[in-house]
A and B are shown apart, each in its own frame.
Chain A
Protein backbone atom coordinates (compact mmCIF):
# COMPACT_ATOMS: atom_id res chain seq x y z
CA UNK A 1 0.00 0.00 0.00
CA UNK A 2 1.26 3.45 -0.86
CA UNK A 3 2.15 5.77 1.99
CA UNK A 4 0.47 8.73 0.34
CA UNK A 5 -2.19 8.27 -2.27
CA UNK A 6 -3.84 11.07 -4.22
CA UNK A 7 -6.90 10.04 -6.17
CA UNK A 8 -8.89 11.96 -8.81
CA UNK A 9 -8.10 15.26 -7.14
CA UNK A 10 -10.02 18.30 -8.42
CA UNK A 11 -9.25 21.76 -7.03
CA UNK A 12 -10.73 25.12 -7.95
CA UNK A 13 -9.51 28.63 -7.25
CA UNK A 14 -12.84 30.41 -7.40
CA UNK A 15 -13.87 29.86 -11.00
CA UNK A 16 -10.50 28.56 -12.14
CA UNK A 17 -10.23 24.81 -12.49
CA UNK A 18 -6.66 24.44 -11.24
CA UNK A 19 -6.30 20.68 -10.75
CA UNK A 20 -8.20 18.46 -13.13
CA UNK A 21 -8.34 14.93 -11.81
CA UNK A 22 -4.83 14.21 -10.60
CA UNK A 23 -3.89 10.79 -9.19
CA UNK A 24 -0.50 9.65 -7.98
CA UNK A 25 1.11 7.81 -5.14
CA UNK A 26 4.19 7.99 -3.00
CA UNK A 27 5.63 4.83 -1.44
CA UNK A 28 7.51 4.74 1.81
CA UNK A 29 11.20 5.58 1.40
CA UNK A 30 10.85 7.08 -2.07
CA UNK A 31 11.77 10.47 -3.44
CA UNK A 32 8.99 11.47 -5.79
CA UNK A 33 9.35 14.52 -8.01
CA UNK A 34 6.43 16.52 -9.29
CA UNK A 35 7.75 18.57 -12.16
CA UNK A 36 6.15 21.03 -14.52
CA UNK A 37 6.16 24.61 -15.67
CA UNK A 38 5.09 27.63 -13.66
CA UNK A 39 1.33 27.52 -13.13
CA UNK A 40 0.97 23.80 -13.83
CA UNK A 41 -0.57 23.29 -10.38
CA UNK A 42 2.31 21.80 -8.41
CA UNK A 43 2.00 24.10 -5.41
CA UNK A 44 -1.79 23.79 -5.47
CA UNK A 45 -1.47 20.02 -5.13
CA UNK A 46 0.85 20.31 -2.11
CA UNK A 47 -1.44 22.87 -0.48
CA UNK A 48 -4.40 20.57 -0.97
CA UNK A 49 -2.55 17.61 0.52
CA UNK A 50 -1.72 19.53 3.71
CA UNK A 51 -5.15 21.11 3.95
CA UNK A 52 -4.29 24.73 3.21
CA UNK A 53 -6.66 24.43 0.26
CA UNK A 54 -9.84 22.40 0.04
CA UNK A 55 -10.39 19.87 -2.72
CA UNK A 56 -13.57 20.02 -4.72
CA UNK A 57 -13.52 16.26 -5.13
CA UNK A 58 -11.15 13.35 -4.95
CA UNK A 59 -9.20 12.08 -1.98
CA UNK A 60 -5.88 12.26 -0.20
CA UNK A 61 -5.02 9.13 1.78
CA UNK A 62 -2.06 9.01 4.15
CA UNK A 63 -1.08 5.68 5.70
CA UNK A 64 -4.54 4.34 4.98
CA UNK A 65 -6.37 7.28 6.56
CA UNK A 66 -8.44 9.64 4.43
CA UNK A 67 -7.08 13.09 5.30
CA UNK A 68 -8.88 15.10 2.62
CA UNK A 69 -11.08 16.92 5.12
CA UNK A 70 -8.63 17.16 8.00
CA UNK A 71 -7.73 20.81 8.79
CA UNK A 72 -4.20 21.95 8.01
CA UNK A 73 -3.12 22.31 11.63
CA UNK A 74 -3.85 18.64 12.36
CA UNK A 75 -1.78 17.30 9.47
CA UNK A 76 1.70 17.77 10.89
CA UNK A 77 1.09 15.58 13.92
CA UNK A 78 0.17 12.71 11.58
CA UNK A 79 3.78 12.74 10.41
CA UNK A 80 3.62 14.96 7.36
CA UNK A 81 5.67 18.15 7.14
CA UNK A 82 5.45 20.77 4.40
CA UNK A 83 8.27 23.14 3.44
CA UNK A 84 6.31 25.82 1.63
CA UNK A 85 7.28 27.71 -1.48
CA UNK A 86 9.24 30.84 -0.65
CA UNK A 87 10.44 29.25 2.66
CA UNK A 88 8.01 31.32 4.77
CA UNK A 89 10.19 31.32 7.86
CA UNK A 90 9.00 33.53 10.72
CA UNK A 91 11.18 36.54 9.90
CA UNK A 92 10.73 38.32 13.24
CA UNK A 93 11.63 35.27 15.30
CA UNK A 94 15.10 33.89 15.93
CA UNK A 95 16.42 30.80 14.17
CA UNK A 96 16.02 28.90 17.43
CA UNK A 97 12.41 30.06 17.90
CA UNK A 98 11.62 29.05 14.33
CA UNK A 99 12.99 25.58 14.94
CA UNK A 100 11.03 25.28 18.18
CA UNK A 101 7.91 26.29 16.25
CA UNK A 102 8.52 23.27 14.01
CA UNK A 103 8.12 21.05 17.07
CA UNK A 104 4.94 22.83 18.16
CA UNK A 105 2.83 19.67 18.27
CA UNK A 106 5.42 17.64 20.17
CA UNK A 107 5.55 17.71 23.94
CA UNK A 108 8.45 15.51 25.04
CA UNK A 109 11.22 18.00 25.85
CA UNK A 110 14.05 15.44 25.64
CA UNK A 111 12.94 14.19 22.24
CA UNK A 112 12.66 17.76 20.96
CA UNK A 113 16.17 18.48 22.22
CA UNK A 114 17.59 15.43 20.47
CA UNK A 115 15.84 16.34 17.21
CA UNK A 116 17.22 19.85 17.59
CA UNK A 117 20.76 18.63 17.95
CA UNK A 118 20.24 16.40 14.92
CA UNK A 119 19.00 19.39 12.91
CA UNK A 120 21.98 21.47 14.07
CA UNK A 121 24.29 18.65 13.02
CA UNK A 122 22.75 18.60 9.58
CA UNK A 123 22.76 22.40 9.30
CA UNK A 124 25.74 23.70 11.30
CA UNK A 125 25.09 27.20 9.97
CA UNK A 126 21.75 27.27 11.76
CA UNK A 127 23.45 26.55 15.06
CA UNK A 128 25.98 29.33 14.43
CA UNK A 129 23.11 31.73 13.85
CA UNK A 130 20.58 30.39 16.32
CA UNK A 131 19.98 33.75 18.00
CA UNK A 132 19.80 35.72 14.79
CA UNK A 133 16.42 36.83 13.45
CA UNK A 134 15.35 34.57 10.60
CA UNK A 135 14.59 37.57 8.38
CA UNK A 136 18.27 38.51 8.37
CA UNK A 137 19.43 35.17 6.96
CA UNK A 138 20.43 34.72 3.32
CA UNK A 139 18.08 32.90 0.95
CA UNK A 140 20.03 29.66 1.21
CA UNK A 141 20.10 29.82 4.99
CA UNK A 142 16.38 30.53 5.08
CA UNK A 143 15.80 27.45 2.93
CA UNK A 144 17.88 25.41 5.37
CA UNK A 145 15.89 26.87 8.25
CA UNK A 146 12.60 26.01 6.54
CA UNK A 147 13.83 22.45 6.04
CA UNK A 148 15.18 22.23 9.57
CA UNK A 149 11.89 23.56 10.94
CA UNK A 150 10.01 20.86 9.03
CA UNK A 151 12.37 18.18 10.33
CA UNK A 152 11.69 19.35 13.89
CA UNK A 153 8.27 17.69 13.68
CA UNK A 154 10.07 14.39 13.05
CA UNK A 155 8.02 13.67 9.91
CA UNK A 156 7.58 10.40 8.07
CA UNK A 157 7.12 12.29 4.84
CA UNK A 158 8.27 15.76 3.92
CA UNK A 159 6.71 17.83 1.15
CA UNK A 160 9.12 20.34 -0.39
CA UNK A 161 7.97 23.11 -2.64
CA UNK A 162 10.62 24.62 -4.94
CA UNK A 163 13.53 24.35 -2.50
CA UNK A 164 15.98 25.55 -5.15
CA UNK A 165 14.06 28.69 -6.04
CA UNK A 166 16.23 31.81 -6.19
CA UNK A 167 19.41 30.09 -5.01
CA UNK A 168 22.86 30.14 -6.59
CA UNK A 169 23.98 26.95 -8.41
CA UNK A 170 26.34 26.00 -5.57
CA UNK A 171 23.58 26.34 -3.00
CA UNK A 172 21.18 24.42 -5.23
CA UNK A 173 23.62 21.50 -5.21
CA UNK A 174 23.95 21.76 -1.45
CA UNK A 175 20.17 21.78 -0.94
CA UNK A 176 19.72 18.75 -3.18
CA UNK A 177 22.47 16.90 -1.32
CA UNK A 178 20.60 17.62 1.90
CA UNK A 179 17.31 16.37 0.44
CA UNK A 180 19.04 13.16 -0.62
CA UNK A 181 20.52 12.66 2.82
CA UNK A 182 17.20 13.41 4.55
CA UNK A 183 15.71 10.67 2.40
CA UNK A 184 18.58 8.29 3.16
CA UNK A 185 17.91 8.66 6.88
CA UNK A 186 14.42 7.31 6.36
CA UNK A 187 12.16 10.22 5.46
CA UNK A 188 10.00 9.91 2.38
CA UNK A 189 10.16 12.98 0.12
CA UNK A 190 7.63 14.52 -2.23
CA UNK A 191 9.48 17.18 -4.16
CA UNK A 192 7.97 19.90 -6.32
CA UNK A 193 10.49 21.52 -8.63
CA UNK A 194 10.86 23.63 -11.70
CA UNK A 195 14.48 22.55 -11.87
CA UNK A 196 13.54 19.25 -13.48
CA UNK A 197 17.09 18.14 -14.14
CA UNK A 198 18.09 18.32 -10.49
CA UNK A 199 14.82 16.84 -9.32
CA UNK A 200 15.03 13.86 -11.68
CA UNK A 201 18.62 13.27 -10.60
CA UNK A 202 17.62 12.51 -7.01
CA UNK A 203 14.09 11.13 -7.52
CA UNK A 204 13.06 7.50 -7.81
CA UNK A 205 9.98 8.32 -9.83
CA UNK A 206 8.45 11.47 -11.22
CA UNK A 207 5.17 12.84 -12.44
CA UNK A 208 5.01 15.56 -15.07
CA UNK A 209 2.24 18.07 -14.63
CA UNK A 210 0.80 20.30 -17.36
CA UNK A 211 -2.04 22.75 -16.70
CA UNK A 212 -3.54 20.74 -13.88
CA UNK A 213 -3.13 17.24 -15.35
CA UNK A 214 -0.47 14.58 -15.13
CA UNK A 215 0.78 14.01 -18.66
CA UNK A 216 3.69 11.62 -18.09
CA UNK A 217 5.02 9.56 -15.25
CA UNK A 218 7.60 6.93 -14.66
CA UNK A 219 11.02 6.13 -13.33
CA UNK A 220 13.21 9.19 -13.06
CA UNK A 221 16.11 7.72 -15.03
CA UNK A 222 13.81 6.79 -17.91
CA UNK A 223 12.14 10.23 -17.93
CA UNK A 224 15.56 11.85 -17.94
CA UNK A 225 16.33 10.20 -21.28
CA UNK A 226 12.90 10.75 -22.78
CA UNK A 227 13.26 13.03 -25.79
CA UNK A 228 10.01 14.93 -25.26
CA UNK A 229 10.86 15.57 -21.60
CA UNK A 230 14.37 16.60 -22.52
CA UNK A 231 13.04 19.12 -24.96
CA UNK A 232 10.30 20.57 -22.77
CA UNK A 233 11.89 20.54 -19.30
CA UNK A 234 15.57 19.83 -19.45
CA UNK A 235 16.51 22.45 -22.02
CA UNK A 236 18.31 20.09 -24.35
Chain B
Protein backbone atom coordinates (compact mmCIF):
# COMPACT_ATOMS: atom_id res chain seq x y z
CA UNK B 1 0.00 0.00 0.00
CA UNK B 2 2.87 2.38 0.72
CA UNK B 3 4.01 1.83 -2.88
CA UNK B 4 0.68 3.20 -4.12
CA UNK B 5 0.88 6.11 -1.69
CA UNK B 6 4.35 6.97 -2.97
CA UNK B 7 3.20 6.62 -6.56
CA UNK B 8 0.31 9.00 -6.03
CA UNK B 9 2.40 11.61 -4.26
CA UNK B 10 4.99 11.21 -7.03
CA UNK B 11 2.34 11.90 -9.66
CA UNK B 12 1.18 14.89 -7.67
CA UNK B 13 4.66 16.41 -7.33
CA UNK B 14 5.26 15.53 -10.96
CA UNK B 15 2.09 17.37 -11.95
CA UNK B 16 3.52 20.55 -10.46
CA UNK B 17 6.77 19.98 -12.38
CA UNK B 18 4.74 19.35 -15.51
CA UNK B 19 2.81 22.62 -15.19
CA UNK B 20 6.07 24.53 -14.71
CA UNK B 21 7.77 22.57 -17.50
CA UNK B 22 5.00 23.62 -19.91
CA UNK B 23 6.15 27.21 -19.49
CA UNK B 24 9.76 26.26 -20.21
CA UNK B 25 8.97 24.10 -23.16
CA UNK B 26 6.50 26.48 -24.86
CA UNK B 27 8.87 29.42 -24.56
CA UNK B 28 11.73 27.29 -25.84
CA UNK B 29 9.65 25.95 -28.72
CA UNK B 30 8.54 29.39 -29.84
CA UNK B 31 11.23 31.86 -28.83
CA UNK B 32 14.10 29.31 -28.92
CA UNK B 33 15.35 30.52 -25.56
CA UNK B 34 15.63 29.10 -22.06
CA UNK B 35 13.81 31.35 -19.65
CA UNK B 36 15.71 30.63 -16.46
CA UNK B 37 13.66 33.24 -14.62
CA UNK B 38 10.58 31.04 -15.04
CA UNK B 39 11.06 29.38 -11.64
CA UNK B 40 11.12 32.74 -9.92
CA UNK B 41 7.82 33.74 -11.50
CA UNK B 42 6.39 30.81 -9.51
CA UNK B 43 7.73 32.37 -6.33
CA UNK B 44 6.18 35.74 -7.23
CA UNK B 45 2.88 33.95 -7.84
CA UNK B 46 3.02 32.26 -4.46
CA UNK B 47 3.89 35.51 -2.65
CA UNK B 48 1.01 37.26 -4.40
CA UNK B 49 -1.45 34.67 -3.11
CA UNK B 50 0.15 34.79 0.33
CA UNK B 51 -0.16 38.58 0.59
CA UNK B 52 -3.62 38.66 -0.95
CA UNK B 53 -5.05 36.09 1.43
CA UNK B 54 -3.09 36.72 4.64
CA UNK B 55 -2.77 40.52 4.52
CA UNK B 56 -5.54 41.71 2.23
CA UNK B 57 -8.02 39.06 3.35
CA UNK B 58 -9.03 38.06 -0.16
CA UNK B 59 -10.76 34.69 -0.59
CA UNK B 60 -8.69 31.96 -2.22
CA UNK B 61 -10.06 31.94 -5.75
CA UNK B 62 -9.85 35.72 -6.34
CA UNK B 63 -6.35 35.61 -4.83
CA UNK B 64 -5.30 32.95 -7.31
CA UNK B 65 -6.80 34.91 -10.20
CA UNK B 66 -4.98 38.02 -9.00
CA UNK B 67 -1.77 36.02 -8.82
CA UNK B 68 -2.25 34.79 -12.39
CA UNK B 69 -2.76 38.36 -13.57
CA UNK B 70 0.34 39.56 -11.72
CA UNK B 71 2.47 36.73 -13.13
CA UNK B 72 1.14 37.22 -16.65
CA UNK B 73 2.00 40.90 -16.52
CA UNK B 74 5.40 40.10 -15.03
CA UNK B 75 6.17 37.46 -17.66
CA UNK B 76 5.20 39.78 -20.51
CA UNK B 77 7.17 42.65 -18.99
CA UNK B 78 10.28 40.47 -18.63
CA UNK B 79 9.94 39.35 -22.24
CA UNK B 80 9.49 42.87 -23.53
CA UNK B 81 12.17 44.61 -21.48
CA UNK B 82 14.84 41.95 -21.09
CA UNK B 83 14.51 39.42 -23.89
CA UNK B 84 12.96 41.09 -26.94
CA UNK B 85 15.78 43.60 -27.47
CA UNK B 86 18.22 40.67 -27.54
CA UNK B 87 16.21 38.47 -29.88
CA UNK B 88 18.44 39.20 -32.85
CA UNK B 89 21.64 39.43 -30.83
CA UNK B 90 24.67 37.84 -32.44
CA UNK B 91 25.05 35.22 -29.71
CA UNK B 92 22.20 33.19 -28.20
CA UNK B 93 24.18 33.29 -24.96
CA UNK B 94 23.25 36.95 -24.48
CA UNK B 95 19.62 36.19 -23.75
CA UNK B 96 20.50 33.12 -21.65
CA UNK B 97 22.73 35.19 -19.40
CA UNK B 98 20.05 37.88 -19.21
CA UNK B 99 17.55 35.25 -18.10
CA UNK B 100 19.85 34.18 -15.28
CA UNK B 101 20.21 37.85 -14.37
CA UNK B 102 16.43 38.32 -14.30
CA UNK B 103 16.17 35.26 -12.05
CA UNK B 104 18.56 36.76 -9.49
CA UNK B 105 16.87 40.14 -9.80
CA UNK B 106 13.48 38.63 -8.91
CA UNK B 107 14.91 36.65 -6.00
CA UNK B 108 16.67 39.70 -4.58
CA UNK B 109 13.67 41.95 -5.06
CA UNK B 110 11.60 39.40 -3.14
CA UNK B 111 14.27 39.32 -0.46
CA UNK B 112 14.13 43.10 -0.21
CA UNK B 113 10.34 43.28 -0.12
CA UNK B 114 9.38 40.19 1.89
CA UNK B 115 12.58 39.51 3.83
CA UNK B 116 14.37 36.20 4.14
CA UNK B 117 12.05 34.72 6.77
CA UNK B 118 10.19 31.64 5.73
CA UNK B 119 6.51 32.41 5.42
CA UNK B 120 4.16 29.63 6.27
CA UNK B 121 1.78 29.33 3.37
CA UNK B 122 -1.79 28.38 4.16
CA UNK B 123 -3.00 25.73 1.76
CA UNK B 124 -5.22 27.16 -0.93
CA UNK B 125 -6.92 23.81 -1.31
CA UNK B 126 -10.19 23.23 0.42
CA UNK B 127 -10.93 19.72 -0.68
CA UNK B 128 -11.31 16.71 1.62
CA UNK B 129 -8.72 13.96 1.73
CA UNK B 130 -9.74 10.67 0.18
CA UNK B 131 -9.13 7.58 2.27
CA UNK B 132 -9.24 4.26 0.52
CA UNK B 133 -8.54 0.65 1.46
CA UNK B 134 -9.55 1.14 5.07
CA UNK B 135 -7.39 4.23 5.54
CA UNK B 136 -4.22 2.67 4.19
CA UNK B 137 -4.34 4.71 1.01
CA UNK B 138 -4.54 8.39 1.85
CA UNK B 139 -4.89 10.94 -0.91
CA UNK B 140 -4.78 14.51 0.39
CA UNK B 141 -6.94 17.24 -1.04
CA UNK B 142 -3.82 18.99 -2.35
CA UNK B 143 -2.82 15.85 -4.22
CA UNK B 144 -6.19 15.40 -5.91
CA UNK B 145 -6.47 19.06 -6.84
CA UNK B 146 -2.92 19.19 -8.21
CA UNK B 147 -3.39 16.16 -10.42
CA UNK B 148 -6.78 17.40 -11.57
CA UNK B 149 -5.39 20.87 -12.34
CA UNK B 150 -2.56 19.33 -14.36
CA UNK B 151 -4.92 17.21 -16.43
CA UNK B 152 -7.26 20.15 -17.08
CA UNK B 153 -4.37 22.43 -18.07
CA UNK B 154 -3.01 19.81 -20.41
CA UNK B 155 -6.37 19.31 -22.13
CA UNK B 156 -7.00 23.05 -22.30
CA UNK B 157 -3.59 23.80 -23.74
CA UNK B 158 -3.80 21.04 -26.34
CA UNK B 159 -7.19 22.32 -27.48
CA UNK B 160 -5.91 25.89 -27.52
CA UNK B 161 -2.89 25.04 -29.68
CA UNK B 162 -4.75 22.83 -32.13
CA UNK B 163 -8.12 24.53 -32.39
CA UNK B 164 -7.57 28.28 -32.14
CA UNK B 165 -5.91 30.77 -34.44
CA UNK B 166 -3.41 32.07 -31.87
CA UNK B 167 -2.53 28.43 -31.14
CA UNK B 168 -1.91 27.74 -34.82
CA UNK B 169 0.15 30.92 -34.96
CA UNK B 170 2.31 29.50 -32.16
CA UNK B 171 2.93 26.35 -34.19
CA UNK B 172 3.87 28.40 -37.24
CA UNK B 173 6.18 30.72 -35.29
CA UNK B 174 7.89 27.78 -33.60
CA UNK B 175 8.78 26.37 -37.01
CA UNK B 176 9.72 29.41 -39.05
CA UNK B 177 9.38 33.00 -37.87
CA UNK B 178 9.96 34.51 -41.32
CA UNK B 179 7.43 32.29 -43.07
CA UNK B 180 4.98 32.94 -40.21
CA UNK B 181 5.27 36.68 -40.80
CA UNK B 182 4.57 36.15 -44.48
CA UNK B 183 1.31 34.45 -43.46
CA UNK B 184 0.35 37.61 -41.57
CA UNK B 185 1.24 36.34 -38.11
CA UNK B 186 2.52 38.90 -35.61
CA UNK B 187 5.61 37.11 -34.30
CA UNK B 188 6.31 39.48 -31.40
CA UNK B 189 2.69 39.26 -30.30
CA UNK B 190 2.74 35.47 -30.48
CA UNK B 191 5.91 35.26 -28.40
CA UNK B 192 4.42 37.67 -25.84
CA UNK B 193 1.29 35.49 -25.67
CA UNK B 194 3.45 32.43 -25.04
CA UNK B 195 5.16 34.17 -22.13
CA UNK B 196 1.75 35.24 -20.82
CA UNK B 197 0.39 31.69 -20.85
CA UNK B 198 3.56 30.20 -19.36
CA UNK B 199 3.58 32.78 -16.57
CA UNK B 200 -0.12 32.31 -15.74
CA UNK B 201 0.59 28.58 -15.45
CA UNK B 202 3.57 29.39 -13.22
CA UNK B 203 1.20 31.22 -10.86
CA UNK B 204 -1.00 28.13 -10.62
CA UNK B 205 2.07 25.95 -10.08
CA UNK B 206 3.24 28.29 -7.32
CA UNK B 207 -0.05 27.99 -5.44
CA UNK B 208 -0.16 24.20 -5.83
CA UNK B 209 3.47 23.80 -4.82
CA UNK B 210 3.14 25.95 -1.71
CA UNK B 211 -0.14 24.29 -0.76
CA UNK B 212 1.61 20.92 -0.70
CA UNK B 213 4.93 22.18 0.71
CA UNK B 214 3.86 25.19 2.75
CA UNK B 215 7.09 27.08 3.27
CA UNK B 216 7.62 30.18 1.17
CA UNK B 217 10.94 31.99 0.75
CA UNK B 218 12.40 34.08 -2.08
CA UNK B 219 14.18 30.91 -3.23
CA UNK B 220 11.07 28.73 -3.30
CA UNK B 221 10.83 28.77 -7.09
CA UNK B 222 14.45 28.12 -7.80
CA UNK B 223 14.80 24.36 -7.29
CA UNK B 224 11.37 23.42 -8.70
CA UNK B 225 12.24 25.66 -11.64
CA UNK B 226 15.43 23.76 -12.31
CA UNK B 227 13.71 20.41 -11.87
CA UNK B 228 10.94 21.46 -14.24
CA UNK B 229 13.60 22.47 -16.73
CA UNK B 230 15.08 18.98 -16.33
CA UNK B 231 11.58 17.57 -16.83
CA UNK B 232 11.17 19.56 -20.03
CA UNK B 233 14.51 18.32 -21.37
CA UNK B 234 13.71 14.81 -20.17
CA UNK B 235 10.43 14.80 -22.10
CA UNK B 236 11.93 16.54 -25.12
CA UNK B 237 12.17 20.30 -24.93
CA UNK B 238 9.74 22.05 -27.24
CA UNK B 239 7.15 19.27 -26.91
CA UNK B 240 3.99 19.93 -24.90
CA UNK B 241 3.14 16.25 -24.21
CA UNK B 242 6.84 15.74 -23.49
CA UNK B 243 6.74 18.32 -20.70
CA UNK B 244 3.77 16.52 -19.18
CA UNK B 245 5.34 13.06 -19.30
CA UNK B 246 8.76 14.35 -18.29
CA UNK B 247 7.30 16.21 -15.32
CA UNK B 248 5.27 13.32 -14.00
CA UNK B 249 8.07 10.78 -14.43
CA UNK B 250 10.46 13.12 -12.67
CA UNK B 251 8.08 13.51 -9.74
CA UNK B 252 7.67 9.75 -9.43
CA UNK B 253 11.42 9.14 -9.64
CA UNK B 254 12.06 11.77 -7.01
CA UNK B 255 9.52 10.40 -4.53
CA UNK B 256 10.57 6.77 -5.10
CA UNK B 257 14.20 7.83 -4.75
CA UNK B 258 13.39 9.48 -1.44
CA UNK B 259 11.32 6.54 -0.22
CA UNK B 260 13.40 3.56 -1.29
CA UNK B 261 16.95 4.78 -1.76
CA UNK B 262 17.88 7.86 0.17
CA UNK B 263 16.16 11.13 0.87
CA UNK B 264 19.47 12.98 0.62
CA UNK B 265 20.26 11.37 -2.69
CA UNK B 266 16.85 12.00 -4.29
CA UNK B 267 17.94 15.04 -6.29
CA UNK B 268 21.14 13.33 -7.41
CA UNK B 269 19.05 10.38 -8.62
CA UNK B 270 16.80 12.73 -10.58
CA UNK B 271 19.74 14.30 -12.38
CA UNK B 272 21.42 10.94 -12.91
CA UNK B 273 18.29 9.65 -14.64
CA UNK B 274 18.33 12.72 -16.86
CA UNK B 275 21.91 12.02 -17.87
CA UNK B 276 21.08 8.42 -18.72
CA UNK B 277 18.03 9.43 -20.77
CA UNK B 278 20.01 12.02 -22.69
CA UNK B 279 22.78 9.51 -23.41
CA UNK B 280 20.31 7.03 -24.81
CA UNK B 281 17.93 9.50 -26.47
CA UNK B 282 19.56 12.91 -26.83
CA UNK B 283 16.37 14.71 -27.88
CA UNK B 284 14.42 13.50 -24.83
CA UNK B 285 11.57 11.03 -24.60
CA UNK B 286 9.13 12.80 -26.94
CA UNK B 287 11.72 14.95 -28.69
CA UNK B 288 11.59 15.47 -32.40
CA UNK B 289 14.21 13.86 -34.52
CA UNK B 290 16.52 16.52 -35.78
CA UNK B 291 16.57 16.13 -39.49
CA UNK B 292 18.62 18.11 -41.91
CA UNK B 293 17.01 18.32 -45.29
CA UNK B 294 18.45 20.46 -48.03
Q: Which residues of A contact B (CB under 8 A)?
A: 50-52, 71-77, 81-82, 84, 88-93, 97, 100-102, 104-105, 135, 149, 153
With known contacts A88-B179, A90-B176, A92-B175, A97–B168 Cβ distance under 8 A: yes
Q: Is B119 interfacial (CB-CB < 8 Å)?
A: no
CA distance A75 to B169 in the complex (A): 16
| Chain A residues whose C-beta falls within 8 Å of the C-beta of B186 in the assembled complex | 71, 73
With known contacts A84-B178, A135-B293, A90–B184 Cβ distance under 8 A: no
Minimum-distance CB pairs A-B, first 6: A105-B184, A72-B181, A76-B184, A88-B179, A104-B183, A73-B181
| Chain B residues whose C-beta falls within 8 Å of the C-beta of A51 in the assembled complex | 181
| Chain A residues whose C-beta falls within 8 Å of the C-beta of B179 in the assembled complex | 84, 88-90
Q: Which residues of B contact A (CB under 8 A)?
A: 165, 168-169, 171-172, 175-176, 178-187, 288, 291, 293
Smallest CB-CB separation from B162: which chain A residue? Answer: A97
* Sample (15) of A-B pairs whose CB atoms are under 8 Å apart: A73-B180, A73-B183, A84-B179, A88-B176, A88-B178, A90-B175, A90-B176, A97-B168, A97-B171, A101-B172, A102-B183, A104-B165, A104-B169, A135-B293, A149-B183
CA distance A93 to B168 in the complex (A): 10
CA distance A104 to B168 in the complex (A): 9
| Chain A residues whose C-beta falls within 8 Å of the C-beta of B180 in the assembled complex | 73, 101
| Chain A residues whose C-beta falls within 8 Å of the C-beta of B176 in the assembled complex | 88, 90
In the complex, besides A89-B179, A90-B175, A101-B168, 16 extra interface pairs with C-beta distance below 8 angstroms are: A71-B186, A74-B184, A76-B182, A77-B184, A84-B178, A88-B176, A90-B176, A91-B293, A93-B171, A93-B172, A93-B175, A100-B168, A104-B169, A104-B183, A104-B184, A135-B291
Contact at A76–B288, with CB atoms within 8 Å?
no
| Chain A residues whose C-beta falls within 8 Å of the C-beta of B168 in the assembled complex | 97, 100-101, 104
Contact at A73–B175, with CB atoms within 8 Å?
no
| Chain A residues whose C-beta falls within 8 Å of the C-beta of B293 in the assembled complex | 91, 135
Contact at B184–A52, with CB atoms within 8 Å?
no
